[in-house]
Amino acid sequence: MSAASDSSVSAAAGTGSLHHVELWVPDLARARAQWGWLLGELGYEPFQDWADGCSWRLGGTYLVIEQSPALTADHHDRLRPGLNHLAFHAGPRDAVDTLAAAGAAHGWTLLFPDRHPHAGGPDHYAAYLASTDGFEVELVATRSALPHR
């Protein structure tokens, strides 16, 4: 990718903010469908597209998926050193529930179903999903003004 292709993103972001995340995937078409659905639901817009990858942008940050010829494995293992998961603000609890329920139809598996939606603890409302390629996302609900009973 050329640096000029993301200059509008760089100009809008402040020092220290996340610029982009790049995930290497073994099957671009599958990853494009899975990530495209999820990121679209979270408000990301398609940003870049080329033969070996694509990206989606929200504000000053974008997420890239790429099927690189330099891949050395065909599956991401979140339990090995490296990236464990990406956490996204997902809106109110009902939005988290909707995404968790719809995820399976788009290639995502609900992790920790026996502890859902409190797998992160009793005061943390989130859905943990894994893609077919082993990437985990945490969809975090916004805290409500009043305690949930």
Q: What ranges do the domains of the chain cover?
A: 1-71, 75-149
- Residue 120's Cβ-side half-sphere holds a number of Cα atoms within 13 Å equal to 15
Considering the entire predicted model, what is its pTM? Answer: 0.87
DSSP 13: P
1-71: CATH number:
3.10.180.10
75-149 classified as CATH 3.90.650.10: no
| Strand ranges (E), the chain | 20-24, 45-50, 53-58, 61-66, 85-89, 109-110, 126-130, 136-140
- The 10s digit of each residue's pLDDT in 27-81 is 999 999 999 999 999 999 999 999 999 999 999 999 999 999 999 988 889 999 9
Q: What would the DSSP string read from start to end of 51-63?
A: TTEEEEEETTEEE
d(CA 73, CA 76): 8
pLDDT score at 127: 98
Element containing residue 93 per DSSP (H, E)? helix 93-103
Which residue type does 145 have? A
